[in-house]
C-alpha cells in the first residue's frame, strides 16, 4: 500500500485548526511569516496514534517512536510534496537537557508543564502557504482517518473565525529591574573571571489565566501581534504552548543535510523608514553583537561536528540581517552532512539545548544560569519539533512564546546573550523589547485582520 496524499481546498491553517484548538495532542505548526527562506509550510496535527507525556527519558522515547513510524514505509518523495507527511511532533523543555548532561537539580515547576511530550501522527494536514495548496497526508493504514480529517477541514474552511474574546489579563515581572540587572552583572563578573565566555540571562513575566479567556484566542492574539516563521500552538498533558518563535534550532533533510540558524544580536524596529534603516545598520556594525553571534556559531560548529562528516560543517551565512515586525536580528547559518551512523535523534542529543539560549561553554553556562535565574525555564528555551517517517526533521527554539500551564498560570520570558562588555541596563532594555509583543498579546484585544483569515 502507498502513502496517502488527499488534495483538499486550500484555506487558512488557522481556520482549519479552529475545531481542534486546545484538544489533547492537537498541534498547529504555522508559518505565519516568511523570513530567510523559511515560512512556506504549515501543518495541522491532531488525534495522534500514540501519545507520550512526561516520559522518564524523552530521548529514549523518541528512539522508540522512531521504530514505530519507520514501520509505516516511506512518504511520497516529490519536491512539490510537503516535507512533513506524518511522524513525531512534540516538545522538549529546557530542563530536558538534564537527561543528556550532569546538571544541577532544576528549580520547582510553578507553571506546571510536562517536561517532554510527543504525539505520533499517522495523519497530518499540510498547507503550502506560497503555492496555496493543501493535502491530508497519511500512513498507508490510516486512509479512513485521513478522509475524516479532510472532511472536517473542508467544513472549517467555510466557517469564519469568531471574534476574539474581549477578556485580557496582565503579566507581572517575577524580578524587579534592579534584581534582573544584578543577575546580568554577576554573569559579566563570571566572564571577566574566566569562568565562561557568554551566558544567556533571562527574565520571566507571569500571571493567572482568566477562566473565561480561551487559550485559542490567546494564540490568535499572539500571531497578530508577532507573526513568525515558527509560530505554533500545541496542547499536551493539560498544558498549552503558544509560540511566535523566529528561530530555527536544527533541521535535517531526508538525505541527512543539517542546518542550524542561531540568532544573536537584536535592535528594535525604527519608528520611521530612516530610523529603521539606522537601527539595522547599527546592529550590523556592532562589534559586540557580532562577537556574541560568532561565539554561538563556534559552539554550534562543535555540536554539529560530533555527528557530521569530517570537513562538512560550514558557515555559509555569518551575522546576516533578518527583520521581523518588532525587531531586527543577526542570524547565522551553520550547515553539515550527517554521517551514515547518525540521524536526527543523534543530532538532537549532540546539540540540545540550543547554544544560542545557554551560552559558552554550554554546560558551565547552564550551571551558572541555574543560580542566576530565580525560576524554572520550562518550555521557554526548549524546542518544538517534528520528525518525519523519511528521517527529515525540523525544530524551533522556544523563544517569544507564551506558556499556559496545568495550574492555569501564564508565563512569558525573554533575555539576551551577555558578554564581557555588556551593559546591564542595555541588556535589560533589550529583553523588554523582545517581550513587548507577548505582553501586548495578553493584555490587548487586537482587531481581526485579513492576515488571520487568509494567511
| Catalytic sites, residue numbers | 247, 264
Angle, vertex CA 130, rays to CA 164 and CA 25, nearest 5: 50
Q: Write b or e for each residue in 137-160: b if 16 or more Cβ atoms lie within 10 A of its Cβ, otherwise e.
A: bbbeebeebbeebbebbeebeeee
Nearest residue to 405 via CA among 120, 113, 153? 113
Cα–Cα distance measured from residue 131 to residue 146, given in angstroms and rounded to the nearest whole number = 22
Determine how β-strand 401-404 pairs with β-strand 4-8.
unpaired
Check: CB of residue 4 under 8 Å from CB of residue 146. yes
* Helices and strands counted in the chain (H then E): 11, 22
Q: Per the omega criterion (within 30 degrees of 0), is the bond before 361 cis?
A: yes
Cα–Cα distance measured from residue 193 to residue 312, given in angstroms and rounded to the nearest whole number = 35
CA dihedral 114, 115, 121, 124 (to 10 degrees): 80
Cα–Cα distance measured from residue 44 to residue 127, given in angstroms and rounded to the nearest whole number = 8
DSSP conformation class of 13: H
Residue identified by cell 530555527 is 248
Angle, vertex CA 290, rays to CA 271 and CA 94, nearest 5: 90
Angle, vertex CA 329, rays to CA 168 and CA 345, nearest 5: 85
Nearest residue to 344 via CA among 263, 261, 262, 254? 254
Alpha-carbon distances of 54 from 18, 50, 115, 117, 248, rounded to whole Å: 26, 13, 6, 6, 24
Amino acid at each position: 500500500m502507498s502513502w496517502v496524499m488527499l488534495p483538499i481546498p486550500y484555506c487558512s491553517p488557522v481556520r482549519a485548526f479552529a475545531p481542534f484548538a486546545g484538544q489533547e495532542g492537537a498541534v498547529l505548526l504555522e508559518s505565519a511569516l516568511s523570513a530567510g527562506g523559511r515560512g512556506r509550510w504549515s501543518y495541522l496535527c491532531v488525534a495522534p496514534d500514540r501519545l507520550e507525556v512526561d516520559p522518564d527519558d524523552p530521548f529514549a522515547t523518541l528512539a522508540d517512536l522512531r521504530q514505530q513510524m519507520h514501520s509505516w514505509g516511506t512518504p511520497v518523495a516529490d519536491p512539490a510534496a510537503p516535507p512533513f507527511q506524518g511522524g513525531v511532533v512534540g516538545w522538549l523543555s529546557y530542563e530536558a537537557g538534564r537527561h543528556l548532561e550532569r546538571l544541577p537539580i532544576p528549580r520547582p515547576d510553578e507553571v506546571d508543564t510536562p517536561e517532554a511530550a510527543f504525539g505520533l501522527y499517522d495523519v497530518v494536514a499540510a498547507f503550502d502557504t506560497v503555492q496555496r495548496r493543501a493535502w491530508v497526508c497519511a500512513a498507508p493504514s490510516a486512509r479512513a482517518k485521513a478522509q475524516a480529517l479532510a472532511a472536517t477541514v473542508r467544513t472549517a474552511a467555510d466557517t469564519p473565525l469568531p471574534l476574539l474574546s474581549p477578556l485580557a489579563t496582565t503579566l507581572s515581572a517575577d524580578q524587579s529591574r534592579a534584581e534582573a540587572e544584578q543577575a546580568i552583572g554577576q554573569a559579566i563578573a563570571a566572564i571577566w573571571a574566566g569562568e565562561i565566555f557568554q551566558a544567556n540571562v533571562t527574565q520571566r513575566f507571569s500571571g493567572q489565566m482568566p477562566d473565561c479567556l480561551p487559550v485559542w484566542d490567546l494564540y490568535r492574539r499572539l500571531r497578530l501581534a508577532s507573526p513568525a516563521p515558527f509560530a505554533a500552538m500545541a496542547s499536551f498533558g493539560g498544558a498549552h504552548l503558544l509560540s511566535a518563535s523566529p528561530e530555527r534550532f536544527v533541521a535535517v533533510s531526508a538525505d541527512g543535510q543539517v542546518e542550524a540558524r542561531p540568532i544573536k544580536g537584536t535592535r528594535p524596529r525604527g519608528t520611521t523608514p530612516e530610523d529603521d534603516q539606522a537601527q539595522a545598520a547599527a546592529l550590523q556594525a556592532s562589534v559586540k553583537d557580532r562577537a556574541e553571534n560568532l561565539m554561538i556559531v563556534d559552539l554550534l560548529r562543535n555540536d554539529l561536528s560530533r555527528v557530521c562528516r569530517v570537513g562538512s560543517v560550514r558557515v555559509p551565512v555569518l551575522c546576516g540581517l533578518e527583520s521581523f515586525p518588532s525587531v531586527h536580528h543577526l542570524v547565522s547559518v551553520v550547515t553539515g552532512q550527517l554521517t551514515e551512523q547518525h540521524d536526527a535523534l543523534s543530532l538532537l542529543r549532540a546539540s540540545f539545548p540550543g547554544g544560542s539560549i545557554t551560552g559558552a561553554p554550554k554546560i558551565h553556562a547552564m550551571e551558572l544560569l541555574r543560580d542566576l535565574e530565580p525560576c524554572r525555564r520550562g518550555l521557554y528555551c526548549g524546542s518544538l519539533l517534528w520528525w518525519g517517517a523519511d528521517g527529515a526533521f525540523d525544530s524551533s527554539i522556544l523563544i517569544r512564546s507564551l506558556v499556559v500551564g496545568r495550574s492555569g498560570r501564564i508565563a512569558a520570558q525573554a533575555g539576551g546573550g551577555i558578554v564581557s562588555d555588556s551593559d546591564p541596563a542595555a541588556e535589560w532594555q533589550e529583553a523588554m523589547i523582545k517581550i513587548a509583543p507577548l505582553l501586548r498579546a495578553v493584555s490587548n484585544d487586537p482587531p481581526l485582520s485579513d492576515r488571520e483569515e487568509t494567511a
